Structure formats: structure tokens, C-alpha cells
Amino acid sequence: MRAKIAITIKPDVLDPQGKAVLHALHDLGFSAVADVRVGKYFEVELEAGTAEPEAAIAQMCEKLLANPVVESYHFTLDEGAR
Amino acid sequence: MAPETITPALIEDHGLTPDEYQQILAAIGEEPTLSELGIFSVMWSEHCSYKSSRAYFKHFPTKGPRVLQGPGENAGIIDIGEGLCVVFKMESHNHPSFIEPFQGAATGVGGIMRDIFTMGARPIASLNSLHFGAPEHPRTKYLVNGVVRGIAHYGNCMGVPMVGGEVHFDACYNGNILVNAFCLGIARHDEIFKGKATGLGNPVIYVGSKTGRDGIHGATMASEAFDDAAQERRPTVQVGDPFTEKLLLEACLEVMRTGAVVGIQDMGAAGLTCSTFEMASRGGTGMEIELGRVPTRAAKMSAYEILLSESQERMLLVAAKGREDEVLAVFQKWDLDAVVIGHVTDGERVRIRHHGETVVDLPVHPVCDGAPIYERPQGQMQPPTLPNPHPEPIHDANRALLEFFGTPIFGDRSVVYEQYDHMVQTNTVVRPGADAAVLRIPGSTRGLALTTDVNARFCRLDPYKGAVLAVAEAARNLACVGAEPLGVTDCLNFGNPQNPGVMGQFVQAVKGIGDACRFFRIPVVSGNVSFYNETEGTQIYPTPTIAMVGLVDEPRADVSGAFVRAGDRIAILGSSRGGLPGSLYQLWRHGGISGGLPAVDLEAERRVQMVVRQAIGDRWVTAAHDLSDGGMAVALLEMAVRSAQLGCSILSQPEGLTWEEWLFGEDHGRVLITYHGENEERLFELAEQFRVPFEAIGRVDEGRVMIPAVRVDLEWSAIHEVWRAGLRRVIE
Amino acid sequence: MTIGIVVFPGSNCDEDIRRALVDELGAEARFVWHKETTLPAVDAVVLPGGFSYGDYLRAGAIARFSPVMRAVRDFAGGGGYVLGICNGFQILTESGLLPGALMVNRSLRFICRDVYICAGESKAALSARLDAARAFRVPIAHQEGNYVAEPETLRRLNAEGQIAFRYCSSGGVLDEAANPNGSLENIAGVCSPNGRVLGMMPHPERCSSEALGATDGAEILRAWLATR
């Protein structure tokens, strides 16, 4: 079972990297881009049959993968993947 | 792996000529296995064997009363007294940095640091000498940013301060940038380790990161000229992990203190292959290795891949038999892999098995020392001509000076060195941006001075004199912080040695370095050669980078190359002849360089340096700055912009020179000094005693730079503004 | 007076702070390996600068789980004095021992240079012994020093005097030009409500020696030592 986790800077916190990418995209002529948030992406492989995988992943995010002060997370669970 | 037939195509793919293959057959008496062919391929590559350059190293003076280790080990070692020694080396990472600037530069830094701590020394300072293409070339910005970030990424995490170096731009590097990384470590004499495998039956231990498929054939890549396909070789570039290397550094220094280590060597170019064969070679022994025990990162790696991988942050260590556990325990403490993979044997053969099956069984010496030595034909390069021989004459020196000084060539380097941690370890007394960096030596009242120098334009016009001048300038930069030279390490960056013109440049430059170092009695203790800096037939300028280390009796933060106090007098030590060939001014005005260099007067150079050192030691000067790139005018502006809004009034005249020669001539052997008026008499006498021309030219003033003879009158803020912007324009 | 200096894998200013505290200021210090589960008998603890765990994931995020951090937390909880410098500050915020977070610099680049900071009036234990109006010249060296906190937290920090240092000009003026990394309200250091846990991005240990021609850091460290 694979969890795909995305972590981004919270919407109300300035994201300096996102801002830099936004500028670069505008410079390249992608004027339709309104905003960019840069984040991190994780793939976490869980043992098959892990109990309450959602809770486990949420805990991992809260404790380590994200910094709740400035980052938010969301994830999907892919049952079949291996 | 199924037995492979060794075909001519396979031999060529391994960068070996048919002749070289015949020599391999003669040396080992049978057809090599594929792994053995791979081993010869990397060990006989230009990068590892120095086959086109080795014949000329005899020109270098490598001995001296302070030399504890000359060339041939991982780094050179020089005694600095008080039971301490310095261990240093410079190495190029040019080709990998052009292909992938961030990782290429980062792993270059990592590699040179391993060379230092593998000898038992703690790295305390780094320098880097960088040459990029023209500032306006479309790839330059990307390459500068990538290289600088890569160096910062690795060096900052290691906690080794990057205290100085140089950043140059010239169109000759458009297709081949130069990234030369220097590192210096310090150790007590009794803490030094060497890369020797001795003691029959002693265990051979693999330490550090797991082996992956990265960097396979990196060493052969560095020995080939670039073509359009170079971009496709991206996968062979290694990825650096500075965190693991920091652990490796601490663990290695700790394990060395146990007394259980017999010899140790890092796995750099040519990885496990190079370290096993070289350690056996130095020890006069052999080795038996089981590749199945090597920790691997990728599944199902073949013997060939494990042997040739250039994964970073790995070491090979020989321990005293019976003390393996002590060694393994230290690495375990630092959470690093450490595995016994074999043992030392007699018979001077390396036997390598992979899951029990013999894949390599080769005599040590043909692999390490058997590469052919080439004395390739030497010719002469066509002298360059000026693209624009008759530019519009300049009528406004004021505007011209400001515009010239505003080019990226002179721009404020802080935009680069502020990305490097240059203060960690708290030894940095004179920070980057000065003529040379100065460090205090932990546990001593004395200090070290470090610089890298080369003027490739001079080397293009005259490779012999250019190389002599590179040594002279490095020594002069050390003198400007009051230091006495101890030793040199060099990176010899050249084009394709199979081009007779390039080979001629190389040999002339080597002779120049040798003669100049002999003259100054400065030993060359380590170094590296980077050939094939050629893209589609275009060769870089010959670029023999000199890194020089000096000793300072009393490191002082208060003498650097900046104006200090209004009212101080300014003088030039040395004679001004107005030499413009090869100067930056010539390049700026004419779009190229041309002409011959005047005779080099090393005796005059030495005397100037003695006067400067003594004047600094006696505290008779308040600042000293070497006159080089951009001549007198640029040196004055540099001393102004580095100060707190101080300028100068220059009252002398361009006697016998044109105004351009006077302002911008780049004659060697000159130093600008500033001093209190009361010291003028004794400085003058000191100069006279050493027969050094002493020309008082003006005084330090508030707020503006004035040179009335050529109607220059610039406000400090205007100069500062163009200087701040010069390089930032390229980078940001 | 014995200071415990915690050594994480990747710490690289541990020896620098030892040198400043011991060689320059005459304190005693001992290193504490991060795998220790208890602290030896020490009067105060320093979490030094560096790149613990390579700063991989986020600066300070992994060091927070080192075994020794439980002991450090207990020590702080019992009223102990803890100083986190640079990476040490990042570890303190990641651990929740100090509020807020340190994000990547506004320039996205690593910055190593001298800046000026002033202590102002705060309840940080050392601030009573520092001239509130004085601008101290101290180097920074970091890529993630951009201090952020939620508006509510920021209000509380201001109201409770928990802002220990702010970036300022050489003349002590708090303005945007003096802010090297984009930190909210020029914040360079914060402290716990009892003033005893202090985190700061600038490196006082790097300017604590006559030999380097820079001694402002020694005054800050001396004030910190004297608070015990």
C-alpha cells in the first residue's frame, strides 16, 4: 500500500520559493499564472494490511514530515501499488 | 555476467587505443575479462595515469626542508613548526561541473576534502578558483549559479569555511568552465595517515555510502573532449551527500585515534578500483576482495559496475588484524556502513571475486604504473590578433574608468562568497575579498595565508611567462598580508594534448611554474592536470591555477586591501612600464588580446615582496594591495569601494607613458601601499635598501577618487554603485 | 559553571561555541552526544549551529527526535537555561520549545555576513545585562533564518516580551533594509515565556575573540553566562 503525500506552505504564509517560480513563469510569458506554491512530495510504502493507514499517515505528517506551524499536508492512499 | 568477447569496438569504448590494448596484453599475458578491461580503462585514463603530462613533472621542485610529503599521495604535507603540519591539495572538477554545475561543483568540493582528511588532517579552509565563459553568454548565468550553489551546499554543510579564491570570465571558457577546488587541513605530525596497504592478512574495510551506479566512467569522461553528445552523459555525474561526508570526516578522525588503522584512502575517481590497486601498490602488497560484501544501493549490480562506480563519500581502510571490531564500532556510532570486504595478501596481485567467482586477477604494477608515458608532439599556437585593432579613441577618461570598472570582471564578489560559510571554525581573520585570506592556526599564535592565482590571458600570449607570473602574483598576494610562502599546489587546466599547440603550451607552463617556484624556493607538493578542455575544436586559454599557502607570524585583521584613514599617503612599490598586452583593458577596448609580454624580472619581484612583508610586519603600512587585473586605476578604486567611503587624490603624472598605459598597465611586481606620513621616510629608506622603486602618488581622501592628470573625478557612491552591480547583473 | 553542548550528527559549530565559552570566557563545557538519554550535571545547555541530519527534510526537523532531546525538554521544563544558535534555534522551534518557524531566506540563498542586532527590552534572561539600545555586530550564516509565526503568536511574543533580538542598522534603527532574510518584524531571536530558553540565528561565538578583531559576541555570551 502506497501513500502519496504532498506538503505545501500554508496559504497565508509567504512562500519565497513559490514567489520566485511565479516570477520566472511570468518572465517566460505564462502570464495566466496567478500563484505558485512549492512543496514536497513523499511516497511512503506501507506493509500490506497496516491497520488504520490514514491515521498512521496523518500522524507521520504531524510529527515529522510537515511543520504544522507553516505547512499543510494532504495525501492519498493507493491500495494496489507495490 | 556472461563472458564477453573483447572486441576492437569495446576497447575503443573504453577509451583505449589499439596500441595501449597490445601493451595490456603484453603486461598480463592473456586476454582481460570485461572487469579487467574496465580497470585498465580507468587506471590508464589521462585523469588517473597522467600519461600525457607525467614526463614533465620533473620540472617541479618538490623538495624542501619543510616538505613532509610531496606529490604522489592524496595530498602534500608541509611542516609549520610547533609539531603541526598543513596538508593541502587542489583538484579540478571541470567536466562534471559543465554538464551538471550544482552536483559537479559539490562533488568536487567533497572529493578534495576527502583527500585531506584521509591523511588524518582536519580540513580548516577551502578556496575555489572558477573560470566561466563570457558574462553575456547564454549559459553563463546558469553555470555560475549552479556552481556557486553546489560549492555552498557541500562546503557549508561540512563546516569547512570557504575563505577565498577567484571568479573569472572569458569567452574562451564558453564551452569548458573551470572549477578548481582547494582544501587545506591541519594535523599534528604523529597523526598523519597514508594510503598504504601493509601487513599480510590485515582486513580491508569498506566504509561510507553504499555503492550505486552513479559516475561509472567519470574518470574516462574527464579525459575526453566535449561534443554535442556531452549533454546526454548526465547520468554519469555523481550526486553528493555532504551530510554523510561530515559523518565520514568525524568517524575517520575518530577511528584514526584508536591506533587500529594501518592505511586509508578515499574512493574518488575510479572508485574501488583505484583505491584497492593504489593502496596495494604503495604498500608493495596485494589484496583479495569479495565484491558480494560491498554495500550496494541498486539491485543486481554487476562486478564491473561495483568496481567502476564513482559513488561519493566512500573510503577504503586497512585495519590491524584482530582490531576490526574497534574500527567497526566507531563507524557504527556514526551510523555509517563499514564492512570487511577482504584482506591484504603478498604477491602484488589484486584478486577480486564476486559471490565467489573470480572476476579480476591482475598484477598491481601494470595497472598502477604501467600506463604508457606520452611525450606528445609540441607546437606553437598562432598568436592571437585583435578583433578590433582601432577602436574609437576615448576622450573622457572619467566615464571610461567608471564603465570599465562596472564590468562583471571587477564586480563585487560578495554576491558569491556570502553564499559560502567563510567564518565557521572561527579562524578566519582576513575574510574573502582581500588579496589573500588569513586564518589563525588553532593552538598557535601564528597564522596561515591562502590564495589562488592565474592570469590566463598572459598564459595565452606566452605560456612560460604567464605561468611564471601566476606564481609571482600568488607570492605577491601573500606578501600583501605579510605572509612568507610555504608551498604550492596547482591545477593545470589545458586543452586537448593531442593538439601540438596545446601540448607546447602545457610544457612551457610547467617549465614556467618550475622555474618560478625554484627561484622563490617554494616547493610544489601536490596538484592535478585537467586536459581536454576543448569544445568542438576550440581550446581554453592555458590556465595553470596556482594555489599558494603562506605563514604569517601574527595574523591581523587590520591590514587588508582597503583605504583605512583619510590623510594616509599612497605609494607604488615597483616599477611601472605601462604593459597593456594581455591586460583586461586591452580586452575591453579591442575585444581580444594580442602582443608579447616583456621580460619577467623575478629578482625585482622578490625584493618588492620582501619590502612589503617587512613594512607590514613593522606596522609601517595601513594597507597593501597587489597591482594586477586592471592596473593602478582599478587597484585604487578597489581600495576605495572596500573602505568606508574613502577615496583618494592622485597627484603624480603619467611620465613617459600614455594615460591608458599609466592607468591600466598590468606590469608585475607592483604593490600599492598606504601609510601615515610620519612613516614615509623609513619606508622610502627600506625600499632604497632593497633597491625597490618607491613612487609616492597621492593621498587617501574622503568621498571621491580624483586623478587630475587625466581629469578623473568620481564620487565614491558612483564607484560603489557600479561595483556592487557589476557581478550581480550576471547572477541575479 | 558547566555548559553542556549537544552534538548532533551534522553539528559543525559545536567546537566553535566551546572555544568561545571556554577559551575566551573561562566557562567549563562538555559535549553531549545526541544518543545520550540523560544530561550530565550541567548548569545550562547549548544546541549549536550546523546541519543536523544534513538539514534534510527541514532544518532541525529530524534532530528534534534525537534521544537527547527528551532530556533537553525536561531540563527546560524544570526551569533550565537552553541556548539554541542557528541550527540550534531551528531545532528548538521544530521541537516546540520555542514558537514560530524558520523558513528559507527571502533571497533563497545561503547568507554569510555580519549583521547588526539589538536586544531591546525583553524578558530573555540575558537582556537585563545587555544595553537595550546598542547594536551588536554579529555574523549570520544560514539558508533558513526567515522567522515566521502566526499573527496571534506574534502578538503574544510582542506583548510578553519574548522577542530577544531584532535585526537593525549599525545605528540601531529597525528597518527593512537591516532585515537580511525576510524575518517578520526583523526577528533574530526569541525566548520562552520564562526567558530561559533562547533561540537566535546570529552566531555570537564567531565574534568572541580579539584575535578575529570582533568581540561583540563575547558580550552577548558573557551576559548569557551571567544569568545563571
Residue B560's pLDDT is: 80
Residue bearing the bigger pLDDT, B577 or A24: B577
Label residue B9 exposed, middle or buried (CB < 10 Å: 0-12, 13-18, 19+). Answer: exposed
Chains adjacent to A (≥3 CB pairs closer than 8 angstroms):
C
Is the CB of residue C180 less than 8 Å away from at least one CB of chain A?
no
For C44-62, write each residue's pLDDT tens digit: 999 999 999 999 889 999 9
Residue A21's pLDDT is: 86
The SS3 call for residue A17 is helix
Residue C120's pLDDT is: 84
| Complex-level ipTM beyond the 0.90 threshold | yes
Is the CB of residue C66 less than 8 Å away from at least one CB of chain A?
no
B6 lies in some domain: no
d(C-alpha C46, C-alpha C53), whole Å: 17
Query: Residue B226: pLDDT band by 50, 70, 90 thresholds?
Result: low
DSSP secondary-structure letter at C101?
Answer: E
Whether B428 and C141 lie within 8 Å, measured CB to CB: no
Sequence-ordered list of residues with C-beta below 8 angstroms from that of B461, at least 6 positions apart, any chain? B383, B384, B581, B582, B593, B594, B595, B596, B597
Residue numbers in B near C10 (CB within 8 A): 157, 243, 246-247
- Report the chain A residue with the minimal C-alpha distance to residue C146: A16
Q: Quote the distance between the C-alpha of residue C165 and its chain's center.
A: 10
Render B331-350 in DSSP notation, one character per residue.
Answer: HHHTT--EEEEEEEESSSEE
Q: How far is C213 from chain A (nearest CA, A)?
A: 35
Q: What residues of chain C have any CB closer than 8 angstroms to a CB in chain B?
A: 9-10, 12-13, 15-16, 19-20, 49-51, 53-56, 109-113, 139, 141, 143, 203, 205-206, 208-209, 211-214
C152: annotated active-site residue = no
Amino acid at C190: V
Of all residues in chain B, what percent carry a pLDDT higher than 70? 97
Residue B569's pLDDT is: 98
Contact B437, B163 (CB under 8 A): yes
Name the CA dihedral angle for B577, B579, B583, B586, rounded to a multiple of 10 degrees: 120
Whether A70 and C148 lie within 8 Å, measured CB to CB: yes
Give the mean model confidence (pLDDT) for residues C66-92.
97
Q: How far is B421 from chain C (nearest CA, A)?
A: 6
| In the predicted structure, residue B509 carries a pLDDT above the cut 50 | yes
For B661-673, write each residue's pLDDT tens digit: 999 999 999 999 9
The SS3 call for residue B149 is helix
Maximum CA extent, chain A? 49
Residue B218's pLDDT is: 52
Amino acid at C35: K
Residue B217's pLDDT is: 65
| In the predicted structure, residue B721 carries a pLDDT above the cut 70 | yes
Our count of domains for chain B comes to 1
Candidate from B62-76, B92-106, B208-222, B419-433 with smallest mean pLDDT: B208-222
Task: Give CA angle at B473 (B470, B477), nearest 5°.
Answer: 140
Sequence-ordered list of residues with C-beta below 8 angstroms from that of C151, at least 6 positions apart, any chain? none
Our count of domains for chain C comes to 1
Residue A11's pLDDT is: 81
B177 lies in some domain: no
Whether C205 and B426 lie within 8 Å, measured CB to CB: yes
Alpha helices (runs of H) in chain C, residue ranges in sequence order: 14-18, 68-77, 87-94, 151-159, 216-226
Give the mean model confidence (pLDDT) for residues B540-564.
93
- Strands B484-493 vs B524-530: parallel, antiparallel or unpaired: parallel
Nearest to B224 by CA among B541, B503, B12, B500: B12
Strands of B203-208's sheet in order across? B261-266, B314-319, B203-208, B338-345, B286-290, B349-354, B357-363
Interface test with C, best of A10, A62, A69, A73 (most C CBs within 10 A): A69
Q: Which of C24, C144, C205, C219 is catalytic?
A: C205
| Nine cell digits for residue B724 | 556592487
Contact B481, B438 (CB under 8 A): yes
- Report the chain C residue with the minimal C-alpha distance to residue B243: C54
For C166-177, write each residue's pLDDT tens digit: 999 999 999 999
Nearest to B283 by CA among B264, B308, B266: B264
Contact B131, B408 (CB under 8 A): no
Phi first, then psi, for residue B547 (nearest 5°) are -110, 130
Amino acid at B453: D
Is the CB of residue B246 less than 8 Å away from at least one CB of chain C?
yes
For B131-178, write each residue's pLDDT tens digit: 999 999 999 999 999 999 999 999 999 999 999 999 999 999 999 999
d(C-alpha B97, C-alpha C158), whole Å: 48
The SS3 call for residue B712 is strand
Domain that holds residue A49: 2-78
Is the CB of residue B559 less than 8 Å away from at least one CB of chain C?
no
Give the mean model confidence (pLDDT) for residues B642-667.
95
Our count of domains for chain A comes to 1
* Summary mean pLDDT of chain B: 94
Is the CB of residue B80 less than 8 Å away from at least one CB of chain C?
no
Domain that holds residue C78: 2-226
B620 lies in some domain: yes
Nearest-by-Cβ selection for A16 from C58, C65, C103: C103
Residue numbers in A near C93 (CB within 8 A): 69
| In the predicted structure, residue B219 carries a pLDDT above the cut 60 | no
Residue B2's pLDDT is: 43
B107 sits in which H/E element? helix B101-117
Whether C103 and A65 lie within 8 Å, measured CB to CB: no
Whether A70 and C103 lie within 8 Å, measured CB to CB: yes
DSSP secondary-structure letter at B73?
Answer: B
For C109-132, write each residue's pLDDT tens digit: 999 999 999 998 899 989 889 999
Q: How far is A49 from chain C (nearest CA, A)?
A: 27
Query: Residue B1: pLDDT band by 50, 70, 90 thresholds?
Result: very low
Contact C52, C18 (CB under 8 A): no
DSSP secondary-structure letter at B393?
Answer: P
- Report the chain C residue with the minimal C-alpha distance to residue B249: C10
Candidate from B36-45, B226-235, B252-261, B682-691 with smallest mean pLDDT: B226-235
The CATH number assigned to the domain holding C185 equals 3.40.50.880
Give the mean model confidence (pLDDT) for residues B690-706.
97
Contact A75, A4 (CB under 8 A): yes
Q: Which of C13, C86, C118, C207 is catalytic?
A: C86
Contact C180, C133 (CB under 8 A): no
Contact C107, C181 (CB under 8 A): yes
d(C-alpha C178, C-alpha C186), whole Å: 8
Domain that holds residue B661: 559-732
d(C-alpha B260, C-alpha B330), whole Å: 11
Whether B423 and C139 lie within 8 Å, measured CB to CB: yes
For B227-251, write each residue's pLDDT tens digit: 555 544 444 667 889 999 999 999 9
Residue B3's pLDDT is: 53
> Which whole-number Å values give the CA distances from A47 to A2, B210, B312, in the listed order?
9, 25, 31
Q: How far is C16 from chain A (nearest CA, A)?
A: 29
Whether C211 and B429 lie within 8 Å, measured CB to CB: yes
Is the CB of residue B126 less than 8 Å away from at least one CB of chain C?
no
Chains adjacent to B (≥3 CB pairs closer than 8 angstroms):
C
Residue B238's pLDDT is: 79
Q: Which of C13, C34, C118, C203 is catalytic?
A: C203
Alpha helices (runs of H) in B263-302, residue ranges in sequence order: 271-283
Nearest to B60 by CA among B529, B503, B499: B529
The CATH number assigned to the domain holding A72 equals 3.30.1280.10
- Report the chain C residue with the minimal C-alpha distance to residue B558: C213
Residue numbers in C near B241 (CB within 8 A): 54
B136 lies in some domain: no
Whether A70 and C94 lie within 8 Å, measured CB to CB: no
What residues of B act catalytically? 47, 93
- Report the chain B residue with the minimal C-alpha distance to residue C110: B419
d(C-alpha A79, C-alpha B596), whole Å: 75
B633 lies in some domain: yes
Query: Residue B481: pLDDT band by 50, 70, 90 thresholds?
Result: very high
Whether B159 and C50 lie within 8 Å, measured CB to CB: yes
For C131-155, write each residue's pLDDT tens digit: 998 999 999 999 999 999 999 999 9
- Report the chain B residue with the minimal C-alpha distance to residue C105: B419
Whether C108 and A67 lie within 8 Å, measured CB to CB: no
Nearest to B669 by CA among B614, B605, B609, B607: B605
Residue A82's pLDDT is: 47
Contact B527, B548 (CB under 8 A): no
The CATH number assigned to the domain holding B693 equals 3.90.650.10
Give the mean model confidence (pLDDT) for residues B691-714.
97
B344 lies in some domain: no
Residue A80's pLDDT is: 64
| In the predicted structure, residue B310 carries a pLDDT above the cut 80 | yes
Sequence-ordered list of residues with C-beta below 8 angstroms from that of C50, at least 6 positions apart, any chain? B159, C8, C10, C11, C12, C13, C14, C86, C87
